[in-house]
Every structure is written in structure tokens, then in C-alpha cells.
Chains A and B, each alone.
Chain A
């Protein structure tokens, strides 16, 4: 069982403008997380930094896998304390001339959370999960 996060969001800005916010390190540092070495280059490794918490030192290690300006971008995403990387994919498409549909997919949790989810469900925790989920959603 694998788990994937997929979020679609419409922006009232043209594709090239949204792409610009996803592909410049200044923009990413502003809205996503601090990065000093992001670059649009396949195979390029870069990092995002945020506040450390718990077992996480605040550094996310990434590698640009592929990109097609201004339609898609795919890179790995591995917090320093994860056993293996996950993958983030941005997909952009135009809605008319001035709007953009942005799709974020974050997947690759097979070995981490997907495995865990499966174990937990096998353990008969659906009720507990439901309760926790409800608390989470109403928080």
C-alpha cells in the first residue's frame, strides 16, 4: 500500500507567473522554505531549511529529477531523519489565459508511512485512527 498526497489549487495568475514562483530560489524562500542552492537543473542537489523539531534537524534534502518549463517539475524530498526519499511533483496547466491549475503530488511513502499504515490497519486500529483523525480535522 502506498500513500500519496495530491492537492489541486486554482490560482488567479497566468502559468508563467506561477511557474516563476516555483522555480526561483528567492520566491521559494519566501513562500515555501529557505533555500540558498535551488536550481533548475536535472540531477542538481539542493536543500530547504526550516526550524528543527523533534528528531528532525530542519533540513530537507532534494534532488531535481526532471522539469519541463512551465508545465511540470519533479524532485526528491527527504527530511534528514527519514529512511528514504519521497517525491514531489508540481504540474501546471492553463485555465483560459489568466488562470492556472496547480497540482501538487507528494508520493513515495511506500517504505515509510504506507508500510506503517498497512501494519496499523492490520493491527485493528481503525477506530482509534478515526477518532484521532476527527480530532485533527476539528483542531
Chain B
């Protein structure tokens, strides 16, 4: 399943998870220890981040490790650049409209 990254970052817990993963990759247990919510609840949030392509979960021995994914982050970041281009094009159209 492919999710919308915007919705993934709309949630404060998921943003906090991304925040702590910017420093280093972490196991699910380590992440869960940073929060006051249950491990299943954290796992559910991680699943959403994984499905949004924002994080990668890999099995290492008995533990599963989470790390940030470049592509997913890039997609969200590119957005402002695209929006600037959107407005430039629209202003060209405004000029066309005015010249009618």
C-alpha cells in the first residue's frame, strides 16, 4: 500500500519519530522507549511511515531497525519548488488574461 506522505507527517507522534530518526537509525524498541505510548501503538505509526515511504524497516537479528528514506523525504521537499513554479506559470497566464 502506498500512502500520501503529507498525511503521514500531519500526525505529531509520527513527526516526532522522524525527528529522532534524523540523528540515527534506531530499533523499534529504542523508539518505543522514547514515548509514553504502547509499543503496538508505535508499531502502527511506524507502519504508516513505512507505507508512506518515509522510513525503511530492516530486520537485524532479533530486532527490527528503522531508518529514514531519502526518496520519501525528497518528495515532500520538492513540493515547495513545484509550488513556486506553479505560481510563475499562473502569473504568465494572468498576463495573457490581461492582454485580452
B6 near A11: Cβ-Cβ < 8 Å:
no
For B76, the chain A residues whose CB sits under 8 A away are 113, 116
For B94, the chain A residues whose CB sits under 8 A away are 11, 18, 21, 31-32, 102
Complex Cα gap A119–B69 (Å): 12
For B9, the chain A residues whose CB sits under 8 A away are 83, 112, 115-116
Question: B79 — nearest CB in chain A belongs to which residue?
Answer: A113
B73 near A116: Cβ-Cβ < 8 Å:
yes
For A, the interface residue count at a CB cutoff of 8 angstroms equals 38
For B97, the chain A residues whose CB sits under 8 A away are 21, 27, 30-31
Question: B95 — nearest CB in chain A belongs to which residue?
Answer: A11
For A17, the chain B residues whose CB sits under 8 A away are 98
Interface residues of chain B: helix, strand, loop or mixed (majority)? helix
Complex Cα gap A82–B96 (Å): 30
Is residue B84 contacting chain A, with contact meaning CB distance below 8 A?
A: yes
B6 near A83: Cβ-Cβ < 8 Å:
yes
Is residue B38 contacting chain A, with contact meaning CB distance below 8 A?
A: no
B91 near A104: Cβ-Cβ < 8 Å:
yes
**Nearest-Cβ distance from residue B45 to partner chain A, whole angstroms:** 15
Question: B75 — nearest CB in chain A belongs to which residue?
Answer: A54
Complex Cα gap A102–B91 (Å): 10
Give the A-binding residues of B (Cβ under 8 A).
3-7, 9-10, 15, 18-19, 22-23, 68, 70, 73-74, 76-81, 83-84, 87-88, 90-91, 93-98
Known pairs A18-B94, A54-B4, A122-B23; list 9 more (Cβ under 8 Å): A7-B87, A55-B6, A81-B6, A106-B83, A109-B80, A116-B77, A119-B19, A119-B22, A128-B70
24 sample A-B contacts, Cβ–Cβ < 8 Å, listed by A number: A5-B84, A5-B87, A7-B84, A9-B91, A13-B98, A17-B98, A18-B98, A21-B94, A21-B97, A31-B94, A32-B90, A55-B6, A81-B4, A81-B6, A102-B91, A102-B94, A104-B87, A113-B76, A115-B9, A115-B15, A129-B74, A129-B77, A133-B81, A136-B81
